[in-house]
Amino acid sequence: QRPKRLTIGYTTRTPDGADVQRRHGAAVEAVVGFLTELGHRCIPFSFPENFEIEAWYETLWVVDAIAEIKRHEKIRGRPPHPDELEPLTRLVLQEADALTALDLQQCRHRATAVARDLIDAQNRANLDLLVTPALATDPPEVGSLSARTGDTVDMQRWAQLGYGFAPFSAPFNLTGQPAAVCPLSWEHDEPPLGVQIVGRHRQDHVVLQVAQLIEEQLSTANRLPPISVASVT
């Protein structure tokens, strides 16, 4: 089923206001052009001023990671041995020991405020959907996204590297909005491209409807490499 005429916001800037790599911005522009041709109203969108994922997000992530470790402790009936944990996970355990209930509560308050500001910005523009790049830059080389510096772990560096090329999912993890990443193109000798589609709460079906349109008309998701399961069956 095709969606009704929608008001769709779009951006080619990261949540903290930086320009994305040109080819990733061009992917958004291609999708916006396609959706405009279908009769949808597409308008520029800007993240709220001073929007930033800060240290409080790291704290929430640490607590979630610890909860998962504790769950596995119950399943296995023992705590993990040191050699069963990666250096980053050991650092997470150390950071968790220093957290207080007040620390966690303050982080949750900040996360709620940031999420509310982002949802309010979309509501003021009366958006049905938002289109962002899937990534801000091409992915870093294998092995470069590491938290290790010699025998130590630099969690801040790890977070900066990861958020630097992939800043668009975290904001909507906070708001809890339905979202989908749609693959777009696969140029020779270049990594695949994609865009992210974000919908209103409880409007998952609209996200899926538009994602299907993009996949049918613009995606190369059905393009197979020279060696694939399909090529040998």
Would you write out the chain's pLDDT as a tens digit for each of its 233 residues?
A: 789 999 999 999 999 999 999 999 999 999 999 999 999 999 999 999 888 888 888 889 889 988 999 999 999 999 998 888 887 788 888 888 889 999 999 999 999 999 999 999 999 999 999 999 999 999 888 777 665 555 566 777 777 777 889 999 999 999 999 999 999 876 667 788 899 999 999 999 999 999 999 988 886 656 666 666 655 65
Strand partners of residue 42: 8
Q: What pLDDT shows up at residue 9?
A: 98
Give the integer Cα–Cα distance in Å for 207 and 3: 9
Give me Rg for the CA atoms of the chain: 20
Task: Quote the tokens at residue 4.
Answer: 């009704």
Query: Using CA atoms, how far apart are residues 68 and 216, in angstroms rounded to an integer?
Result: 38
DSSP-based three-state secondary structure for 25: helix
- CA dihedral sign of residues 176, 119, 168, 27: positive
Predicted structure pTM score = 0.86
- The bridge status of strand 7-10 relative to strand 194-199 is unpaired
Half-sphere exposure of 38 (CA within 13 A, CB side): 19
